Amino acid sequence: MIAFVPVAHAQRRAIFSRGCIPRDGTARCRKRAGSLTTMCMAVRYDLVTLGNVCVDLVVPARAFPIEPGVHQDMVAPASVTCGGAANALIVARRLGLNVAAIGHVGNDTLGQILTSQLHEHGINAKHLVVSPTQSTAACAIITDEDGNHTFIASNERPTAIYSDLTAIDPRTQEHHVPSEFRSALQAARALLIDGYALDDLTFPLLAGCVQIAKQNGALLIFDPQATTRHLAQTNRPLLDYMCSNASILSLTMEEAEDLVLYAGEVVSRTPSARAPTIARARDLCSLLSGKFPSTQYILIKCGAEGSCGLQCSAKPAAAEHAVFVHGIELGDRFVDSTGAGDSFVAAFIAGLLHNGLAPLENLLALANAAGAATCTARGAGPNCATFEAVAAFLPEKLSESLNAQPKDQYQNQPHCVLHVTLECPDAVESAFLKLANELAVHSRKEVGCISYSFARSCDNPRHFMVVERFASVEALDVHSNSEHFKRIVPRFEELGVRTLSAQKGVVVLEAEK
């Protein structure tokens, strides 16, 4: 059984061209769609990121250093892509998670580029808030032919000011968290916050988001990135707050060492920089275990050498309990490590939420593979790891396990069905069917698409029915913002194809075989 929402004639064209109830729809349409709207709220996000939504400008130089007055040729075209938190979201999406970004963007050209690209990559951007007072965050990434890079960013210094009263006040979320953020956080299974997000968020907003996520049982992942030392030196209460609330701490070796020193360990206990990587990483996991009450996993990224992880309990753990997984030798395939850390943590979360890839050794192997795959392309964003590239870097048995996982995580969400009736003039039928076939082929490849068909009416040969079935309303929204949809549907109208009716519904009952 499908609960259908009939569509008023004046709105039919808008609905087919957008695949959803128009944002500017009348109150009457909204009232009639009330039952559908209520059911659509059942959407769950596997991963939500808070803040650090930014645009990357990637400039491939020939070599460092970059010197004043000394010109260089670019070794490849420059690119403008979504970056920051989007790196993790793109990889998580490619590994089958349902994802969304929350944060602020400016009412500017970069903000438009950013939201458009997020939609293209299957990331829900409807929870972003357009700020009239701040510009969209940006980062210039300069790379060279040897794989080195440097960042010039607008969010390099965390500015959120910690407050004890704000952290414990239950009213914080009500007073400081926008409704757009709240709806995503209430639906999230995991919330990822990195250190750069602390620059564009006030502490009341940050604390309110953490409160909502934890109240709804979400995992909180904190990746301080390059801000660790700065936070430890200038904003210790904020660093302690983030670490104490984190379910998963994702650190580089250097960040872990900074955190060990900050946590009050005797300096002589800190592993020597000359010690083998495996021993250093395991010792750092041991030193950090038991320090923060909410921590379930400590992850230490060791670059090309691999990664180390420890599943925590309330008490400190011995170093030998930490698991080290060796990295993947890329050789000549290595291009650039931008986004590798983001890809690592996204894949770890994907493996953890997929449930079929434990134990910890497998989760780290999956994360290593995602980081390595990202290193084979220049820049991050769209060039981050794909599902196929990650699977190719995994041992055979683990790759089979990954492929056996559903590539879509819309579990326990109502399937969404859209029926559209079109009228096609006889003279353009051939051109129409060619475009319809192209649209169907692309649409069926989308994550979340169950079926996508065009059928000719038995009563009127000039009438065609489009029958679309998606795993969730969110998946249909992503489809409606896809490149192929926006490119092909307007061409139907150019041919004179008319939309006669459109009905969108959710499956409320389905007979079992």
Could you tell me if 52 and 165 lie in one domain? yes
Could you tell me if 81 and 100 lie in one domain? yes
Final residue before a domain boundary, out of 354, 378, 404: 404
Residue 385 lies in a domain: yes
Final residue before a domain boundary, out of 404, 421, 444: 404
Domain tally for the chain? 3
Residue 259 lies in a domain: no
Could you tell me if 243 and 274 lie in one domain? no
Q: Using pLDDT thresholds of 50, 70 and 90, give the confidence band for residue 236.
A: confident
Residue 467 lies in a domain: yes
Could you tell me if 16 and 95 lie in one domain? no
Q: Using pLDDT thresholds of 50, 70 and 90, give the confidence band for residue 74.
A: confident
3-state secondary structure 291-332: CCCCCCEEEEECHHHEEEEEECCCCCCCHHHCEEEECCCCHH
Residue 513 lies in a domain: no
User: Is pLDDT of 349 > 80?
Assistant: yes
Could you tell me if 141 and 18 lie in one domain? no
Residue 260 lies in a domain: no
Could you tell me if 78 and 150 lie in one domain? yes
Residue 486 lies in a domain: yes
Region of poorest pLDDT, from 135-139, 341-345, 456-460? 135-139
User: Is pLDDT of 412 > 50?
Assistant: no
Q: Which CATH number does the domain housing residue 453 bear?
A: 3.30.70.100
Could you tell me if 156 and 16 lie in one domain? no
Could you tell me if 456 and 395 lie in one domain? no
Could you tell me if 168 and 289 lie in one domain? no
Whole-Å CA distances, 508 to 253, 300, 327: 50, 45, 47
Q: Which domain holds residue 181?
A: 47-247+328-404
Residue type (1 letter), 8: A
- 362: helix, coil or strand? helix
Final residue before a domain boundary, out of 373, 404, 435: 404
Average pLDDT over residues 429-439: 94
Could you tell me if 37 and 55 lie in one domain? no
Those residues whose C-beta lies under 8 Å from the C-beta of residue 100, and which sit 6 or more positions away, are 45, 47, 48, 49, 89, 123, 124, 125, 126, 127, 184, 188
Range list of β-strands (E), 247-390: 248-252, 297-301, 306-311, 323-326
Q: Using pLDDT thresholds of 50, 70 and 90, give the confidence band for residue 509.
A: low
Q: Which CATH number does the domain housing residue 362 bear?
A: 3.40.1190.20
Could you tell me if 195 and 287 lie in one domain? no
Residue 512 lies in a domain: no
Residue 304 lies in a domain: yes
Using CA atoms, how far apart are residues 389 and 433, in angstroms rounded to an integer?
34
What percent of the chain clears pLDDT 70, i.e. is strictly above it? 82
Average pLDDT over residues 202-219: 90
Could you tell me if 37 and 83 lie in one domain? no
